[in-house]
C-alpha cells in the first residue's frame, strides 16, 4: 500500500495504469516464452525420434553381432547434421559399441546400466536416450545430444519482441493515464470538496455540476438527488419535532389536569377494596359457622327419629332452637357480605331467558351454536329483572370467550325442589322450591385450582385488557342478593356448566305442597351400593340418605379405591354411583375399567356437566343412568330404583 500512500488521484491513476500494463506484459511474455519453448522442444523431440528410428534400422545387425565397425558406419550419416553434437551406441548389456563427439560438445558418461527412455533439456544441449528394439526385444540404447544454439537465438528474438511491445504499451499507458486524469480527476475533486463542505457546514443546498452523461456524470447527478432528499427529510424532521414538542406540552397539561381525578379514583378503589375485603371476611366467617351448625342441625333431625322419649325430644327441641338462632345470626352476616336487598318484583324467568337468548343470537359469532330448553311452566321468582338479565349476559359472554374456535352454548330452565339431603351439601341452599337456570358451554374448561378463585373480585384468566375480573363476582353478588346460590362444574377441555338456584316466589299453596300430594320415595331392600366421590361430605351425605332408605352403602374416595372395592366385593354390589370429575382416575376411566371387569355391572354417573359421558362411543362403556349435579334425594332414589328394577331410561 505504500505505493499509493500520500499521493494525488492523478498520480494514483498514473501508477495504476503503468502497474497494470507491466503486469499484463509480464504475463503475456511468460506465456509467449513458455509456448515457444514447448513448441521448440516438441519439434526437436519429433526430429530426434526420426533420426533415432533411422539409426535403429541401420544398426540392428551391428548390435546383434556387436560389430563396432558396422555400428560406426551407421553413425557416420548423423555427423553431417550440424545440430547433433554427439552420439553413442550401446549394446543391450551396456557395452559401448560406437560413437562420436564434435568439438565443444559436453562429455557423456558411459552408463554402467542401460537407462530408460528419457529426454533432458538444458540451456546448452538436448539429450535423448532412445532404446533400440528387435521384435519387441531390446538390443541396445542410443544416446543423442543436440546443440541448443537455435533455441537461444529464438529466445533472444522473442525477448526483443516483448521489449518492443512493452515499450509501446508503457507509452500508451502514460498517454491513457493523462487522458483519464483530465476526464476523471477534476469531477472527483469537485465531488469530494462538495461532500466535505456538506459534512462540515450541514448545508444540504449545495450542488455539483454533472460532467456529461457517463457513469461519472450519473454519480454526480445521484449525489445531487441524495442531497435534495436529505434536505427534504431534514425539513420534515424539523416539522415533526416541532409538532411533537407541541403534543408533549399538551399531553403534559392533560396529565396534570387528570392527576386530581386519578387520585380521587384511587381513593374510591381503595374504599371499594376495603369493603370487598370486609365482605370476603364476613363470608368466610359465615362459611365456617355454617360448617359448625350443619352437622348439629343434621344430628338433631337424626336424633329425633332415633330417640322418641319426651325428655330427649324436649332437649333436642332446645338444641334445634339454638341452632336455628345461630343460623339466623349467620344469615345476618351473609346479608352484610352480599349487601342489602333492593326492590323486588315477581319475575317470569322464561321471559328474561328469551330476551337474553335473542341478544346472544344476534350478537355472538355464527360459529357458536346456541340452544335453549324452556318448560311450559316455570315458577316465578322475586327479584330485580335487570340484575337477573345482567347475570345471564355475564355468564353467556364468559362462555363465548371460552369458545373462540366455535362450540355450543345451552341455556336450560327447570323447577327444582331441594330437600334436606341436598341442602346439607351446599351452605347457601335451603329446603324449598327453586328455579334452576343452567348455562353450559363446550369451551376450554377450568382446572380445579382456577375454580377455587373464579368468584373472587379482580380474578381473571383472560389476557391483560380483555377482562376486569368483576364479571363472576358480580354474578355471585346478584345471586346471593336474591337469596339463591350458584354451583360450577368444569373440566379442562370439556366445558363448563353454571347452575343458578333462585328461590321461587311463595304462594298460598306452598305449605300444602310440602305435606300433601307427594309420592312416597322408593325404599331399598338391603342392596349394596358403591358410592365413589372425592368429596368426603358428599360421600357421607349420600351414604346417610341411602342407608336411611334401606340400602347398604360402601364408599370410595377415588377411582383406584373403587376398582379395589369392586374387585373384592363385585358379586355383592348392585349399583355403582360414581362422580365423573375426580383426581388421578376420573369417572370415565373408572367406568371403562369396571365394565372391563364386569360388563353387566350397573353404573350411575353424576356430573355437573349436563352431558352423558361416553367419549369412546361404545355402548359397553355407557352408564345405565346419568344424574346431572346437583341432584336431590328424590332424584337419586328414583334413579337408583329404575336402574335396579331394569328401567334404564336416564334421568
Residue of 633, 649, 642 whose CA lies nearest to 425: 633
The answer to whether 388 touches 352, Cβ cutoff 8 Å, is yes
- State the residue for C-alpha cell 371403562: 592
**Is the residue at 23 inside a domain?**
yes
Residues 564 and 550: their CA atoms lie apart, in Å, by 25
**CA-to-CA dists, residue 5 to 9, 12, 60, 186, angstroms:** 11, 9, 73, 20
**Is the residue at 651 inside a domain?**
no
Strand partners, 532: 556, 578
The answer to whether 402 touches 440, Cβ cutoff 8 Å, is no
Residues 554 and 281: their CA atoms lie apart, in Å, by 38
CB atoms within 10 A of CB 205: 9
* Phi, psi dihedrals of residue 250, rounded to the nearest 5°: -65, -40
Residues 273 and 352 in one domain: no
Decide: residue 346, CB within 10 A, 0-12 exposed, 13-18 middle, 19+ buried: exposed
Domain that holds residue 554: 528-645
The answer to whether 598 touches 621, Cβ cutoff 8 Å, is no
Residues 497 and 568 in one domain: no
Residues 411 and 441: their CA atoms lie apart, in Å, by 9
**Is the residue at 264 inside a domain?**
yes
Direct distance between the N- and C-terminal alpha carbons of the chain, in angstroms, rounded to an integer: 98
Rg (CA), the chain: 57
The CATH number linked to 640 is: 3.40.50.2300
* Phi, psi dihedrals of residue 610, rounded to the nearest 5°: -80, 55
52-66, 251-265, 469-483, 525-539: segment of lowest average pLDDT = 251-265
SS3 call for 562: helix
Residues 331 and 353 in one domain: no
**Is the residue at 515 inside a domain?**
no
Long-range contacts of 112-120 (CB under 8 A, 24+ apart): 114/90, 114/138, 114/141, 115/141, 119/45, 119/48
Residues 384 and 478: their CA atoms lie apart, in Å, by 9
Residue-wise burial string across 597-629, b where 16 or more C-beta atoms lie within 10 A, e elsewhere: eeeebbbbbbbbbbbebbeeeeeebbbbbbbbb
**Is the residue at 604 inside a domain?**
yes
Compare 93 and 464 and report the one with higher pLDDT: 93
Residues 496 and 532 in one domain: no
Residue where one domain finishes, among candidates 308, 336, 364: 336
**Is the residue at 204 inside a domain?**
no
Residues 17 and 140 in one domain: yes
**Is the residue at 193 inside a domain?**
no
In the predicted structure, residue 439 carries a pLDDT above the cut 90: yes
**Is the residue at 221 inside a domain?**
no
What residue ranges in 354-403 does DSSP mark as E strands? 368-373, 381-383
- Percentage of residues in the chain having pLDDT higher than 70: 73
Residues 647 and 649: their CA atoms lie apart, in Å, by 6
Residues 422 and 561 in one domain: no
Residues 270 and 386 in one domain: no
Strand partners, 381: 347, 504
Residues 320 and 293 in one domain: yes
In the predicted structure, residue 15 carries a pLDDT above the cut 70: no
SS3 call for 364: coil
Q: What is the DSSP letter of 185?
A: I
Compare 421 and 404 and report the one with higher pLDDT: 404
Compare 534 and 513 and report the one with higher pLDDT: 534
Residues 471 and 558 in one domain: no
Tally of domains in the chain: 4
The answer to whether 440 touches 500, Cβ cutoff 8 Å, is no
Residues 375 and 478 in one domain: yes
Residues 354 and 432 in one domain: yes
Residues 304 and 407 in one domain: no
Residue 528: alpha-carbon gap to chain centroid: 52
Residues 448 and 469: their CA atoms lie apart, in Å, by 18
Residues 386 and 394: their CA atoms lie apart, in Å, by 12
Confidence of residue 604 (pLDDT cuts 50, 70, 90): very high
Residues 541 and 528: their CA atoms lie apart, in Å, by 16
The CATH number linked to 458 is: 3.30.565.10
Residues 455 and 436: their CA atoms lie apart, in Å, by 19
Residue where one domain finishes, among candidates 510, 537, 562: 510
Q: Average pLDDT, stretch 213-220?
A: 74
The answer to whether 529 touches 575, Cβ cutoff 8 Å, is yes
128-132, 299-303, 415-419, 426-430: segment of lowest average pLDDT = 299-303
Residue where one domain finishes, among candidates 163, 183, 216: 163
Query: What digits encode the pLDDT tens for the residues 521-531?
Result: 788 899 999 99
427-441, 452-466, 473-487, 555-569: segment of lowest average pLDDT = 452-466
52-61, 207-216, 537-546: segment of lowest average pLDDT = 207-216
Residue 396: alpha-carbon gap to chain centroid: 31
Query: What digits encode the pLDDT tens for the residues 166-189?
Result: 778 767 767 776 666 666 666 777
Average model confidence (pLDDT) for the chain?
77
Amino acid at each position: 500500500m505504500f505505493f499509493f500512500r500520500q499521493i494525488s488521484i492523478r498520480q494514483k491513476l498514473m501508477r495504476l495504469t503503468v502497474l497494470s500494463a507491466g503486469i499484463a506484459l509480464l504475463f503475456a511474455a511468460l506465456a509467449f516464452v513458455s509456448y515457444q519453448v514447448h513448441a521448440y522442444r516438441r519439434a526437436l523431440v519429433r526430429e530426434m525420434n526420426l533420426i533415432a528410428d533411422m539409426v535403429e534400422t541401420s544398426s540392428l545387425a551391428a548390435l546383434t553381432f556387436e560389430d563396432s565397425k558396422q555400428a560406426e558406419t551407421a553413425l557416420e550419416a548423423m555427423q553431417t547434421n550440424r545440430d547433433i553434437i554427439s552420439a553413442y551406441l550401446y549394446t543391450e548389456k551396456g557395452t559401448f559399441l560406437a560413437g562420436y563427439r564434435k568439438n565443444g560438445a559436453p562429455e557423456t558418461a558411459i552408463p554402467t546400466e542401460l537407462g530408460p527412455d528419457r529426454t533432458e533439456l538444458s540451456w546448452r544441449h538436448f539429450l535423448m536416450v532412445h532404446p533400440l528394439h528387435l521384435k519387441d526385444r531390446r538390443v541396445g540404447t542410443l544416446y543423442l545430444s543436440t546443440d541448443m544454439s537455435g533455441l537461444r537465438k529464438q529466445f533472444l528474438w522473442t525477448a526483443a519482441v516483448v521489449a518492443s511491445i512493452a515499450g509501446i504499451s508503457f507509452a500508451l499507458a502514460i498517454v491513457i493515464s493523462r487522458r483519464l486524469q483530465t476526464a476523471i480527476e477534476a469531477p472527483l475533486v469537485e465531488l469530494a470538496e462538495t461532500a466535505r463542505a456538506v459534512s462540515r457546514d450541514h448545508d444540504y443546498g449545495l450542488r455539483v455540476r454533472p460532467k456529461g452523461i457517463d457513469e461519472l456524470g450519473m454519480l454526480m447527478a445521484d449525489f445531487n438527488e441524495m442531497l435534495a432528499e436529505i434536505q427534504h427529510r431534514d425539513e420534515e424532521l424539523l416539522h415533526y419535532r416541532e409538532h411533537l414538542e407541541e403534543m408533549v406540552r399538551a399531553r403534559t397539561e392533560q396529565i396534570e389536569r387528570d392527576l386530581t381525578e386519578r387520585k380521587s379514583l384511587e381513593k374510591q378503589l381503595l374504599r371499594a377494596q376495603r369493603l370487598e375485603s370486609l365482605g370476603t371476611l364476613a363470608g368466610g366467617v359465615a362459611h365456617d359457622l355454617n360448617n359448625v351448625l350443619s352437622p348439629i342441625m343434621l344430628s338433631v333431625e337424626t336424633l329425633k327419629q332415633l330417640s322418641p322419649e319426651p325428655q330427649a325430644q324436649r332437649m333436642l327441641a332446645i338444641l334445634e332452637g339454638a341452632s336455628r338462632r345461630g343460623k339466623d345470626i349467620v344469615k345476618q352476616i351473609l346479608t352484610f357480605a352480599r349487601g342489602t336487598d333492593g326492590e323486588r318484583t315477581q319475575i317470569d324467568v322464561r321471559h328474561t331467558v328469551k330476551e337474553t337468548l335473542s341478544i346472544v343470537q344476534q350478537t355472538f359469532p355464527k360459529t357458536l351454536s346456541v340452544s335453549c330448553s324452556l318448560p311450559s311452566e316455570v315458577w316465578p321468582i322475586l327479584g330485580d329483572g335487570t340484575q337477573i338479565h345482567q347475570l345471564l349476559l355475564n355468564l353467556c359472554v364468559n362462555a363465548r370467550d371460552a369458545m373462540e374456535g366455535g362450540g355450543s352454548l345451552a341455556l336450560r330452565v327447570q323447577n327444582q325442589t331441594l330437600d334436606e339431603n341436598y341442602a346439607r351439601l351446599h351452605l347457601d341452599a335451603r329446603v324449598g322450591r327453586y328455579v334452576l337456570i343452567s348455562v353450559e358451554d363446550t369451551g376450554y374448561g377450568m382446572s380445579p385450582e382456577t375454580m377455587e378463585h373464579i368468584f373472587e373480585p379482580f380474578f381473571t384468566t383472560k389476557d391483560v385488557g380483555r377482562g376486569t375480573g368483576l364479571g363472576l363476582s358480580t354474578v355471585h353478588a346478584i345471586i346471593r342478593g336474591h337469596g339463591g346460590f350458584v354451583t360450577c362444574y368444569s373440566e379442562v377441555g370439556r366445558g363448563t356448566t353454571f347452575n343458578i338456584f333462585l328461590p321461587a316466589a311463595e304462594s298460598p299453596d306452598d305449605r300444602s305442597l310440602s305435606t300433601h300430594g307427594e309420592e312416597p320415595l322408593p325404599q331399598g331392600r338391603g342392596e349394596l351400593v358403591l358410592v365413589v366421590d372425592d368429596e368426603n361430605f358428599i360421600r357421607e351425605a349420600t351414604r346417610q340418605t341411602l342407608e336411611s332408605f334401606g340400602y347398604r352403602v360402601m364408599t370410595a374416595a377415588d377411582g383406584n379405591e373403587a376398582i379395589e372395592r369392586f374387585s373384592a366385593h363385585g358379586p355383592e354390589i348392585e349399583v355403582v354411583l360414581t362422580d365423573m370429575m375426580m383426581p388421578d382416575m376420573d369417572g370415565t376411566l373408572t367406568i371403562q375399567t369396571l365394565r372391563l371387569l364386569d360388563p353387566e355391572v350397573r353404573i350411575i354417573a353424576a356430573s355437573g356437566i349436563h352431558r352423558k359421558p361416553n367419549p369412546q362411543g361404545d355402548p359397553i362403556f355407557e352408564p345405565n343412568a346419568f344424574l346431572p349435579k346437583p341432584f336431590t334425594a328424590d332424584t337419586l332414589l328414583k334413579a337408583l330404583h329404575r336402574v335396579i328394577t331394569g328401567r334404564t331410561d336416564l334421568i
